[in-house]
Amino acid sequence: MINPVVHIEIAGQDGEKLEDFYSRLFGWSIARRIVGPGFPYGQIDTIAKSASVTGGIRHEPEGKAELVFYVEVDDLPAALAQAQELGATVRIPIITTPDLTFAMITDPEGNPVGMIQKKE
């Protein structure tokens, strides 16, 4: 059996800022929860049309972590422009391969995020 990825977490010192960034950039619905004393958490519902993993925004005020994950988008140039408008920086500009086109940004808290546009 191949062990699938079933959950992701994105951590940063300003969790609310990350929740706003990802909900506005990718249209994710994020529900705020308190999962323990001093442990706020934003549960992500990507409402994916196809198979998807779940995820969450972990508030990490004392530390810094890095996770690279890729999100499929319909229009990569438009998504890259929107990400920059929302405060992201381009880490890897658009690259085209035979199967897909991708780019990587750094979100407002410093996490790398890849975006992929599959070829039709």
pLDDT band at 38 (very low <50, low <70, confident <90, very high): confident
Please give the tally of structural domains in the chain.
Answer: 1
Residue 2 is assigned to a structural domain of this protein: no
Q: Considering the domain boundaries, does residue 75 fall inside one?
A: yes
In contact, 73 and 115? CB cutoff 8 Å = yes
Q: Is 6's pLDDT higher than 90?
A: no
Quickly list H helices, the chain: 15-26, 76-85
Q: Domain of residue 33: give its range.
A: 7-118
> How far, in Å, CA of 25 to CA of 64, rounded?
22
Identity at 47, one-letter amino acid code:
I
Q: What is the CATH number of the domain that holds 83?
A: 3.10.180.10
Q: List pLDDT tens digits, range 85-101.
A: 999 999 989 998 888 88
Q: What is the C-alpha to C-alpha distance for residues 39 and 61, in angstroms, rounded to an integer?
A: 10
pLDDT value for 81: 98
pLDDT of residue 32: 85
Per-residue pLDDT tens over the stretch 52-110:
676 677 777 776 666 678 888 999 999 999 999 999 999 989 998 888 888 989 999 98
